Amino acid sequence: MAQSSSARPPLPVSPATRAAPLAQLGHDSFDLIIIGGGIGGACAAWDASLRGLKVALIERADYGSGASAHSLKVLHGGIRYLQHLDIPRLRESCAERSAFLRIAPHLTRPLPFALPTFGYGMRGKFPLRAAFQLLNVFTSGRNEGIESRAQHIPAPFVMSRQDFVQRFPAFDAAGLTGAGVFYDGQMLNPARIVYSIVRSAQTAGAVVVNYCAAERLLIRDRRVEGVAARDELTGATFDVRAKIVLNLTGPFAPSLHRRAQGDSPINVPLSRDMAVVIKRKLLPDMGIGIQTRYKDPDAWFSRGNRHLFMAPWRNYTLIGVNSKVYDGDPYELGVSEMEIQGFIDEIREAAPGLGVTRADVAVVNAGLLPFGENQPGQKDLSFGKRSVLIDHAARENLEGLITGMTVRWTMGRLLGQNAVDLACKKLQLDTRASQTATTAVHGGDVGDRDRLLRSIRTQAGPQLPEESIVHLADTFGGSAGEVLKLPDGTAILCDGRTLAAEVRYAARNEMSETLADIVLRRLDLGTGSELGDQLLGECAGVAGEELGWDAERRRREIDRVKASYPFASPRSQERHGLQ
């Protein structure tokens, strides 16, 4: 059962209070300063704060705005690792999937995936049924401590041909015998999970600041003593002192280290993973895995080629992933029209019955992750196996610096835990064990979801549409009541679902500095399709009231959001400026 964090001190509600944590950063000395507010950095900050360490977290952009926001939204339980005979990784992945289903029940769901079966060979039902039996044994503890049965991962099962075709008529094919169905987890809003963890770290005592960049490391006598930081909103610079620096900036970690230690670079191959949002609901309440033309060179036992996975999400369909070796500047990550069309061609070849075209693609999600050893242009790719964690004292005799890169979103919590374990060992601190696998994140103390929905209906009254009630529950969880107490009440924006109070609350209470922070990450309004001008204008109006934006600033904020489609590189976002 997830532990409750109900005794929360009040958090600052005015944008002016940004000055307070910035002053702390420049004045105080910390046990740890964590660079990077993605899933790994957020979890490390929360973990260390719960253990009683004095922690600072800085993020160059917004929390969870990089690779952590741009994924297939799947919490991977590791079924693929059965083919690799990597049982430790399978069990590790299952445990991490369970952790997020446990601690963020308002933002995660179990989701079934069907794998079509053909004939009587390796692609048939019998090998898959045997694999499912092994999966069930190796992951037998997958639901331990998960209070809500709705969050439990059921056992995998085999589906008849008739049932499969009834659910997926577009996937009927010669030789089809049915499907095997296994369960993974789905994230409703990955960036919101990251924010909720950052908020939990702040509640536990961490000093957290977004739009604050680490310009360089402060080094004296082969020891890192902190970072030289820059407030991206004002341009002010200052030093932050800490006993240990955790560089958890993901694909940007090597470049930060290179500026400090050019003679000992971090060489981690990177994969550009891409998933697309299709603005049609192509599937029922179940995802599907369809084989592509590419092979898995690491598989010992294989049903055939790699799979594309398609998943229902809100009123859209997610399809991914498309991977390639990436050796460019992480800040210049982009996705070309040729790459998008190439992925569409791959989808059409794997699932011709869906009739997907480039016009169906509303949003492109792409991020960089540690990869296996591959050559540029290689087709049958070897993927990364483990997260990267480097103690630079052992690597190049540079004390006080730890670098980490998570191999996939699901493993971010564990990376944070392992990084803090290592930091505590180096600091010779005897702290309690990590609690982040069993402690509810901010808003996650919801218990029974049906009870939460009833509570929101009672507080909101009969005039609020059910879609709005569900969105409140699935975004704010146990904090939904705070939103409804704002002066806007239950006034609804032009989309017919979103409350003006949600925008106001995100601007006032949730460390939002831009309109993109609010509509793309806190409220998840614009991650399925591009927002219309009227809705953007209404959101900018409410946010502008809270954050003091004049008409010109509101226009620039709207332009910034529009520039995010179909995909915006980190650098292009910076070029749209915050000042």
Residue 219 confidence (pLDDT):
95
The CA angle 528-274-330, to the nearest 5 degrees, is 110
Cβ-Cβ contacts under 8 Å for 472 (sequence gap 6 or more): 456, 460, 480, 483, 484, 499, 502
Apex 519 CA angle, 192 and 230, nearest 5: 75
- The Cα–Cα gap between 483 and 492 comes to 13
Average pLDDT, the chain: 90
Give the residue among 4, 20, 60, 55 at the shortest CA–CA distance from 37. 60
3-class secondary structure, 500: helix
- What would the two tokens of residue 254 be? 């090597």
Burial class (CB in 10 A: 0-12, 13-18, 19+), 569: middle
DSSP assignment of 508-535, as one string?
HHS---SHHIIIIIIS-SSSSSPPPHHH
Q: 370, 279, 360, 350: which is closest to 308 by C-alpha?
A: 350
CA distance 262 to 13: 42
What is the longest distance spanned by two Cα atoms in the chain?
A: 70
CA-to-CA separations, 181 to 13, 275, 285, in angstroms, rounded: 46, 22, 12
Q: Look up the pTM and report it.
A: 0.93
How many whole angstroms separate alpha carbon 505 and alpha carbon 525?
Answer: 14
Composition of the chain by helix, strand, coil, percent to 5: 40, 25, 40
Structure tokens at 233: 């909103």
The reported pLDDT for the residue numbered 77 is 94
**What is the spatial distance between Cα 234 and Cα 248, in angstroms, rounded to a whole number?**
24
Share of the chain above pLDDT 90, in %: 78
pLDDT of 307 = 83
Q: How far apart are CA 401 and CA 260, in angstroms?
A: 11
* CA gap 253, 344 in Å, rounded: 32
- DSSP β-bridge partners for residue 404: 389
**Which positions of the chain have pLDDT values less than 70?**
1-16, 262, 294-305, 371-385, 572-579
Q: What is the DSSP code string of 146-204?
A: ---GGG--PPPEEEEHHHHHHH-GGG--TTEEEEEEEEEEEES-HHHHHHHHHHHHHHT
Domains of the chain plus CATH, in order, are 19-67+191-267+386-427 (3.50.50.60), 108-187+269-370 (3.30.9.10), 449-573 (1.10.8.870)
The rounded distance, in Å, linking the Cα atoms of 216 and 379 is: 37
Q: How far apart are CA 280 and CA 179, in angstroms?
A: 24
**Can you read off the two tokens belonging to residue 143?**
């639901």
The angle that helices 466-476 and 500-509 make with each other, rounded to 10 degrees, is 10
User: In this predicted structure, what is the pLDDT of residue 573?
Assistant: 57
Distance CA 228, CA 240 (A): 6
Nearest residue to 159 (alpha-carbon basis) of 171, 167, 151 = 167
Tell me the β-bridge partners of 180.
115, 158
Q: Which helix or strand (DSSP H or E) is residue 555 part of?
A: helix 551-562
pLDDT tens digits along 370-391: 865 545 555 544 445 689 999 9
The partner residues of 181 in beta bridges, in order of sequence, read: 114, 157
Q: Is the dihedral of CA 566, 558, 516, 240 positive or negative?
A: positive
Confidence at residue 401, expressed as pLDDT on a 0 to 100 scale: 96
